Structure formats: structure tokens, C-alpha cells
Chain A
Amino acid sequence: MNGAQDLGGMMGFGPVQPEPHEPPFHAEWERRAFAITLAMGAAGSWSLDASRFARESLPPARYLTSSYYQIWLAGLERLLEERGLVGADEIATGHALTPPKPVRRVLKAADVAATLGRGGPVDRPPTAPARFAVGDAVLARNMHPEGHTRLPRYVRGRAGVVEAIHGCHVFPDSNAAGRGEQPSWLYGIAFRGRELWGEGTDPRLVVRVDLWEPYLEGA
């Protein structure tokens, strides 16, 4: 969706502000928000793609004025409410008011290391041959889906070249919507800076973007 998360190329946010010796967390609530988000992700009630969609579905003004873990928290609350796992009344009162619904698993402390170590690989066996080869000229489709997509606005309609084939990966657009993984070929596409940003752009800039086959057409 064309939400506030799709930031590539926007102006007006000012300089990047590095923080020397930055700690992993800046407050106790950030630690807890991070951990409950990961623990609930491990419960298996939604995919990473669905949680990204929940975060980017925040109204743009709220997204841009929320801190990172506030965005995580809002996304988590939305997922829990949508699936009937936690009600708004329960978040408001801070206590369980209805019986729990079944979840696939509950992450235990003893299983954290193994669970993190396994991760969540998204490569899948191919179901069809790759349509493009390294060196092919391609065009990123000019599409504006209202659901989740990982096709940034700044490359839509732009010409690039296939530089890498990463194999078949879970397709976020369908997976986020609960329509299954629909594994698709994933390519590393190189775009010249001038193709993306026009005149005045550094001629030595190349932007590499990972794009799934349904985002691409032959040029």
C-alpha cells in the first residue's frame, strides 16, 4: 500500500542523526515491546508479512510521529484484535476478560536460542522456471495495490537490469493477505540513479532492489 512506510526518495526529514554508542534499547518499555512482539510472532498466529502490513496500515500522520517501537506496538495490538486474541477492552483495563483462544505454540525461555537460530527461511522450491536471466533488461510494474507490497514507489515504472537471482521466495503480497505463500522468483535489480531521480543525479549512483517476478515485466 502507498503508506507512510514507503519513504524512499521523500524529502524534508532533515539530516540523519547518528547517536554515538547507541544502546540497543532506550527505555524499559522498548525492551518489553520488542520481546512481546517477537514472542507473539513465534506463537504462529500471523506471518512477518502480515505484521509489516499491520504496521504500515497506521494512518500516515500517526506512523510518522510514532517512534519505532510505538509502531511495533500499534501493529501488534491490531493483529491481536483482528484475530480475536486480545480485545480493546482488555488492553484498556490491562487484564484478561475473556478466555484465551488457541495459539500454535507458546515460546518458552529454554527454546528461545533454538527458535532464533532456526529463524524463518523464506526460500521455497521453484514451481516454474525463472522468467528472467541475469543481464536481462526489465521494467518494474507501475502498480498501486491497496494491500501489502514490497515494491517501493520510487522504482515503479522504472527500467533496470537483472543482476542476481535469489531463488524462489515467499511472495509477501499474497502471504500478508492470508492468501498463501505463492513462492515467486526473487531478483536483484539494478537501477541507475538517473533513471530513478532524473537530471542532476550523481551519474555514479546505482540502487539495487530485490523484486519478485510479479513486480516485473520484460523491457
Chain B
Amino acid sequence: MARDHDHDHDHPHDHSELSETEVRVRALETVLTEKGYIDPAALDELIETYETRVGPKNGARVVARAWSDPAFRTWLLEDATAAIRSLGYIGRQGEHMVAVENTATTHNLVVCTLCSCYPWPVLGLPPVWYKSPAYRSKAVRDPRGTLADFGVALPEETEIRVWDSTAEVRYLVVPMRPAGTEGWSEEALAGLVSRDSMIGTGLALAPGRTGEMKP
């Protein structure tokens, strides 16, 4: 039977626990599926990919290789797209890669002031703070203040280069290799490479402070 004509519309509906946004997403997914524009199984696969397979561990492996293999480091700095591809990290939002290296005198920091451009194949999906107005507005004008928000202080004489990803070129920061890691395996080195250190809002971890990164 159809809904009573005197149905009270202030009365909670069956999805009363859902926010307006949740209702809209559900509605849209249903309509797109009914119209045959999308395959729900493909959605599950997309989510699975970025929740469990693609993440900053990929980038950490790239950095650890650059730290241990001088030829790879040179290749990475000259043609990051090809060097990163050689490790199997390719595809969407990583089509045109550039690696920038931190040194004793220069620190690099990456931002996208216009949206949320980020190198997905090596870092996964960007964290909320990377996409936030606070970070996008402040990083290009006051990078030292931005770094302070992350608890990072650099010597006053360090040059700071901020990379605004305004095109499809995606940037990966190669942090400085921590002291006391001579002779470490690539795998052990990768454990010191935090996601933030590859954006430039952090530094590589000191030995003994291994990161806890998702895949």
C-alpha cells in the first residue's frame, strides 16, 4: 500500500540515522548503477586498491632505494617517472613525476594550493590536512610556520623551496638520510621514511624510531 496521504514528514524515515550527505551518496550510487553507468564491483575494487595496496610504503621503498643505490638516486632525480616505474609504482596521479632532494642547505615542501594534487602511486590518497584550507593557504606564504604546526624546526639559513602542484606534475620529496644508518638494508631504511617526510612536512625518522605506516 502506498504511503498514507496524511503521513507526517517530520517523522523519522527509515534512513533517519543517515546524514543528508550519506543519503545523497547512496541515492547517487543507486541511480548510477540502475542506469548502468557504473559497476558496484568496480567500486569495491577501487576502494580496496587505495585502502590496502597503494600507500606511502611504496614511496618509502623508492626513497630507501635512492639512499642505498647512487645510480638509482641519479636516475630518480633526472627522470623520476621512469625510475619509479621501474619499481612498479605507476599510474593515475603519477604519470609525470619529479623527485626533489633535501640537503643540508635546502628543504623541499609540496602543496597543491588549488585542489589536492598528490602522487597517488607512491603516497596513496592524501590525508585530510593536505587537502585542508589551512595547509593550502599557508604552505606557500609561511612554510616555516607550517612546518612548526608539524613540530618541525629548521635552521634559519636553510633555503625552503615550496612546490605548488598546479599542473599534472607530481612531486616526491627525498628526505635526508638519517645519521647512524650506514650499512642498513633497504628494507630497514624504508622503515625510517615517513609519509610526511616525502611531502616535506616531516623529516626521516632517526634510527630507533621506526614508523608505523599503512601499506
Binary CB contact string for chain A from 112 to 142 against chain B (1 if under 8 A, 0 otherwise): 1100111111110000000000000000000
Interface residues of B (CB under 8 A from A): 19, 21-32, 34-39, 41-47, 49-51, 55, 90-96, 98, 113-116, 124-125, 127-129, 131-138, 140-141, 143-144, 146, 149-150, 156-169, 196, 201, 212, 214
Query: Inter-chain contact count A-B, CB under 8 Å?
Result: 263
Cβ of A73 under 8 Å from chain B: yes
Cβ of A207 under 8 Å from chain B: yes
7 additional A-B residue pairs with CB within 8 Å, beyond A35-B46, A119-B93, A166-B169: A8-B137, A35-B47, A39-B46, A68-B128, A90-B27, A204-B160, A211-B167
- Point out the residues of chain B lying under 8 angstroms from A86, CB to CB: 28, 31-32, 35
Given known pairs A33-B25, A208-B163, the reply for A107 and B39 (CB within 8 Å) is yes
Are A211 and B212 neighbours in the complex by a CB distance under 8 Å?
A: no
How many A residues are at the interface, by size bracket? 35 or more
- Point out the residues of chain A lying under 8 angstroms from B160, CB to CB: 202, 204-206
Are A15 and B134 neighbours in the complex by a CB distance under 8 Å?
A: yes
Interface hits, A77-132 → B, CB 8 Å: 77, 80, 85-86, 90-96, 100, 103, 106-109, 111-113, 116-123
Cβ of A10 under 8 Å from chain B: yes
CA distance A7 to B135 in the complex (A): 9
Cβ of A5 under 8 Å from chain B: yes
CA distance A116 to B51 in the complex (A): 14
Are B27 and A94 neighbours in the complex by a CB distance under 8 Å?
A: yes
- Point out the residues of chain B lying under 8 angstroms from A38, CB to CB: 46
Are B125 and A24 neighbours in the complex by a CB distance under 8 Å?
A: yes
Partner of A119, one of B94, B116, B128: B94
Are A206 and B165 neighbours in the complex by a CB distance under 8 Å?
A: no
Interface hits, A172-205 → B, CB 8 Å: 172, 186, 188, 196-197, 202, 204-205
Are A113 and B49 neighbours in the complex by a CB distance under 8 Å?
A: yes
Given known pairs A68-B128, A209-B164, the reply for A91 and B39 (CB within 8 Å) is no
Partner of B138, one of A16, A39, A55, A164: A16
CA distance A100 to B129 in the complex (A): 38
Are B49 and A18 neighbours in the complex by a CB distance under 8 Å?
A: no
Partner of B25, one of A22, A73, A120: A73
CA distance A209 to B166 in the complex (A): 6
Are B47 and A207 neighbours in the complex by a CB distance under 8 Å?
A: no
CA distance A118 to B168 in the complex (A): 15
Smallest Cβ distance from A122 to chain B, in angstroms?
Answer: 5
27 residue pairs of the A-B complex, CB under 8 angstroms, read A8-B114, A8-B136, A8-B140, A13-B134, A16-B135, A24-B51, A24-B125, A24-B214, A32-B29, A34-B125, A36-B38, A40-B38, A43-B37, A52-B114, A56-B114, A73-B24, A73-B25, A85-B35, A91-B24, A108-B42, A109-B44, A119-B93, A152-B166, A204-B160, A207-B162, A208-B161, A211-B167
